[in-house]
Amino acid sequence: MVNIAVIGYGYWGPNLVRNFAELNGAAVVGVSDQDQKKLDVVQRRYPSIKTTTRFQDLLDDPSVDAVAIATPVSTHFELGMAALRAGKHVWIEKPMTETSMQARKLIEEAERRERVLFVDHTFVYTGAVRKMGELIRSGDLGKIYYYDSTRVNLGLFQRDVNVISDLAVHDFSILDYLLGEHPVAVSASGINHFPGTPENLAYITLFYDSGTIAHINVSWLAPVKVRQILVGGSKKMITYNDLEPSEKVKIYDKGISFTDDPQKIYEMRVGYRTGDMLAPKLNESEALRVGAEHFVDCIVNSKTPETSGQLGMHVVEIIEAATSSMRGKGETVYIQKGKKA
């Protein structure tokens, strides 16, 4: 049995407690939050769980095997490092840290102490994204030409991070999972419409050595909520609408072909192909539950998580590069080359 404690019972903490509490092979033994009223809610719902306003109480408890951190990103590094030094396995929310240097230090500490470091990039564990990854790796889509994402809504405005860290972070982790390749450069533009608050709208373009290009539109100022992704390949194309109740992923047998046949030099050299549309069956398990099961499995069997500290660090590097580009009015910022770890 893996005993887990959760630090932070705000927006995401209740979801973590619920999933770990219902998981075979795991138990939630403690919850920490600075707000006693939130802890009162925990005690009413889960009378057997220990609650405290001091997170150190959970780190000092020898019965706690792992700690899940669901607090503001500005606290991630301090809490994550303290948990690792206390010998705990760590689950940490996205983005992993404020800086890539902090992320690197957490990775080194986890490796030194042989602890599991899991970053909760939840979309990687959705049935839709995993099906898309399966299709891309099978070669069904052919060469990947582009990834185009729109992730917009009205609010929720964040105080400590900009819209790139809040929304585009999902696309950065999805792209890493789908392509198995890290971008080599980024260009971004964005704006802060309200003085004293982070940027609330951004357009980001990522460039890859393979020739794939990714464009991401994120905003807290849209009149409607949109969560849509297009992936274009040389053979087939995919649409993913996360707000669809069913048939979230659709595969289109559509594309174009070119010819340089000298016999057809005076004819149109572009051919268009239109075939069938298929909506594949997806695993409908809750993504957070899948991730929680994976975290426990990694602890029990000494495995490296799919959303490891390395992935978390790469995502933070892209956030840093995109934010730097945005504040430089779209200047291209180059990222260290590398393949997925």
pLDDT in tens, 62-97: 999 999 999 999 999 999 999 999 999 999 999 999
Q: What pLDDT, on a 0 to 100 scale, did the predictor assign at position 40?
A: 97
pLDDT band at 306 (very low <50, low <70, confident <90, very high): very high
Q: What is the mean pLDDT of residues 266-292?
A: 81
pLDDT in tens, 172-186: 999 999 999 999 999
Check pLDDT > 70 for residue 339.
Answer: no
The Cα–Cα gap between 306 and 132 comes to 16
- β pairing state of 26-32 and 2-7: parallel
Q: What is the mean pLDDT of residues 265-287?
A: 76
- β pairing state of 89-93 and 117-120: parallel
Check pLDDT > 90 for residue 104.
Answer: yes
Check pLDDT > 60 for residue 148.
Answer: yes
Question: What rounded mean pLDDT belongs to the chain?
Answer: 93
The 3-class SS string of 75-87 reads HHHHHHHHHHHCC
For 87-115, give the DSSP string.
Answer: T-EEEEESS--SSHHHHHHHHHHHHHHT-
The model carries a pTM of 0.92
Check pLDDT > 80 for residue 333.
Answer: yes
- DSSP conformational letter for 239: E
Residue with more model confidence, 275 or 102: 102
Q: What pLDDT, on a 0 to 100 scale, did the predictor assign at position 268?
A: 52
Q: What pLDDT, on a 0 to 100 scale, did the predictor assign at position 180?
A: 94
Q: What pLDDT, on a 0 to 100 scale, did the predictor assign at position 85?
A: 98
Q: What pLDDT, on a 0 to 100 scale, did the predictor assign at position 259?
A: 59
The Cα–Cα gap between 186 and 178 comes to 18
The Cα–Cα gap between 117 and 105 comes to 12
* Residue whose C-alpha is closest to residue 220's, from 196, 243, 191: 191
Q: What pLDDT, on a 0 to 100 scale, did the predictor assign at position 159?
A: 78
- The domains found in the chain, sorted by start residue, are 2-115 (3.40.50.720), 124-284+316-334 (3.30.360.10)
String of b and e for 118-138 (b: at least 16 CB within 10 Å)?
Answer: bbbbbbbbbbbbbbbbebbee
Q: What is the mean pLDDT of residues 269-284?
A: 79
Check pLDDT > 60 for residue 338.
Answer: no
